Every structure is written in C-alpha cells, then in structure tokens.
Amino acid sequence: MTDLLYLVAVAPFTDMAGSPAFLVEVLLGGVFAGLMYSLVALGFVLIFKASGVFNFAQGVMVLFAALTLVGLLERGVPVVVALALTTAVMVALAFAIERLVLRPLVNQEHIILFMATIGLNFFLEGFGEMVWGANVKRLDIGIPDRSFIVRGVQINQLELTAALTAAVLVTVLALFFQKTRIGRALRAVADDHEAALSIGIPLKTIWVVVWSVAGVVAIVAGVMWGAKSGVQFSLSLIALKALPVLILGGFESVPGAIVGGLIIGVGEKVGEVYWGPLVGGAIENWFAYVLALAFLLARPQGLFGEKIIERV
C-alpha cells in the first residue's frame, strides 16, 4: 500500500526533480501538442460563436487544407504560391458553404445544422480523396525536422516553429475576436439571429468571415500536423482530440480553446511519461477524455464558457 502511494505520489516528482532538463523537454512536447489541439479547437470555437453551429467537419477541413497544399506542392508549385492558393481554396469553400449549406437552412434548429456539417464532413472527405488521392503524403515546407540543444534541453526546430506560429496566430485571433467590433458582432449573431439582423449585422458576411477564418486556421493546423506525421486520413481524427479541449475551455471562448489545449497537451505528456509505466502506458490516449468527463460533471460550461441561465 505504502509502496503504491510512493509510486503514485512521490516517485514521479523525484524523477522530475532528478532530471529537470528532461522535464522541460516533456513540458515543451506537451505545449507543442497542446497548441496543435488549440488550433483545431479554435476552428470549432469560431464557428460555434458566430452561428451556434457545432461544425463536425472541422477535422476534415484540416485534412482537406493539408491535402490541397500537398497536392499543389507535389505538382511543383512553390511553397508561397501553394499557401496562397490553398487559402483561396478555403475562402472559396467558406463562400460555398454559406451559399449552399447555411443559407438554405437559416433559422433551422441547431441539430439540423449539426447534421448538415456531418454531411459536409463526408463530402469533403470524399472530395479530397477524389481530387488528391488517398495515399499517405509527406509534407515538406522547408523547415528541417532537426533538433538542437539549449542548456541540455533538446528542442526540435519544426516543433518550435510550429509552436511559435500557432502562438502568433492564436494571439492575433484572440485580439481580433475579443477586442474589436467584429467580435461583438460575432457574439451578437451567435446569441440571437433576429436581434442581430435588426441592429444591422449582415449574417451572410459574418458567416463567410468566420468560415474563412476557420479555414485558414485549418490550413495552419493541417500544415503542422502534416509536417510532423504526414498527411493522411487519420488527420481528420484530431478533431476528436479537440472535443475535450472544447469541453475544458468552454465552447464559445477563444482563450478557453488555448488554455484547454495547453492543459490537455501538457497533462497527457506529463501523465504518459511519469505515471504511464504504473498502468502500462497509453495514458495519452484517454487522459483528455477522462479530464473532459470530470469537467462535464463539475463545471459543464468549461473554464471560460458563458453560463447561460434559462428563465422559465
């Protein structure tokens, strides 16, 4: 009994203290993974905030963006041009979604819009496969997957670049949506379509804007995951990791998506490395979901979510 207690509550911490450089490496790995989760979660949050729609297709949008980029690169298009073209494709996709999916379904129940995004999910998956093929592809954007050592801590150059890019993107988006009138317009649209229209907010413009931004976020997430582990269809499954992030952070909170992502990223890496051996490993696979479950029981609106009180 005392042995077990020692193994759970003491040994991991002595391990951490014993090799601080390694601890820092584990933490950095966690931060990297966390930022990636945040990026995907952010795509969900943006669309949820603006239209109250839970966009099931966000994961596939990441895959679709990465596939498009890789497809263009394989055909010899320079990186910068390929990125610009991919952005154009994602914006065009936003226009198409607004016109063909959202507009015909305006004022429908949320569950109907949710079902529509499931349809969108399958369409994009099939369409991507049809256009770009189903093979696993290597994505090379010219950043070497090399490591260097600072004060005994091994840092991967690709991960570092990815983390910095994600951090910059997330900061810009947070400012954009929290501090500007477009942020207020977004929250207004999410809250009440009719009232938003009556104060002069054009719904269509807002929808195109958020789906475009969600598309751009999907590109960044797609490039980073793709560069790390290849572009393949399992990429769309990282959307499943974004769900616990959303539950932790709150569905309508941009800072929530970031903090939630970091908590889960760091939590699962630290858990895996220091407590994993106790239970035979694989903590990484379930940590996020168990944490989300705990949050659902204790604080269903998440860390930063808005607590809506319904009057009856």
Residues in the site for other proteins, rule: CB under 8 A?
Answer: 172, 175-176, 179-182, 184-185, 187-188, 191-192, 194-203, 205, 209, 252, 306, 308-311
In the bound complex, what is the minimum distance in angstroms from residue 302's beta carbon to other proteins?
A: 13
Q: Which is nearer to other proteins, 149 or 199 (CB)?
A: 199
Shortest spacing between CB 220 and other proteins, in angstroms: 17
Minimal distance, residue 53 CB to other proteins, in Å: 16
Residue 148, strand partner residues: 155
> 186 CB contacts (<8 Å, ≥6 apart)?
49, 50, 177, 206, 210
DSSP state of 311: P
Q: How far is the CB of 263 from other proteins (least distance, A)?
A: 23
In angstroms, what is the minimal distance from the CB of 252 to other proteins?
8
**Structure tokens, 110:** 């949320």
Residue 312 CB coordination number (10 Å): 2
Q: Which is nearer to other proteins, 95 or 286 (CB)?
A: 95
> Is the CB of 73 or the CB of 186 nearer to other proteins?
186
Which residue number, 99 or 184, has a Cβ lying nearer to other proteins?
Answer: 184
DSSP 93-132: HHHHHIIIIIGGGTT--HHHHHHHHHHHHHHHHHHHHHHH
Strand partners, 231: 137
Q: How far apart are CA 6 and CA 15, in angstroms?
A: 12
Helix (H, G, I), strand (E, B) or coil at 83: helix
Min dist. Cβ of residue 52 to other proteins (A): 11
**Closer to other proteins at the Cβ: 2 or 198?**
198
Minimum CB–partner distance for residue 301 and other proteins (Å) = 10
Specify the residue, 66 or 173, whose C-beta has the smaller distance to other proteins. 173
Output the six-digit token pair for 16. 């951490």
- Name the residue type at position 290: V
Residues 6+ apart with CB under 8 A from 123: none
Q: Cα separation of 96 and 78, whole Å?
A: 27
Q: What is the rounded CA–CA span in Å between residue 266 and residue 106?
A: 40
Residue closer to other proteins, measured from CB, 79 or 195: 195
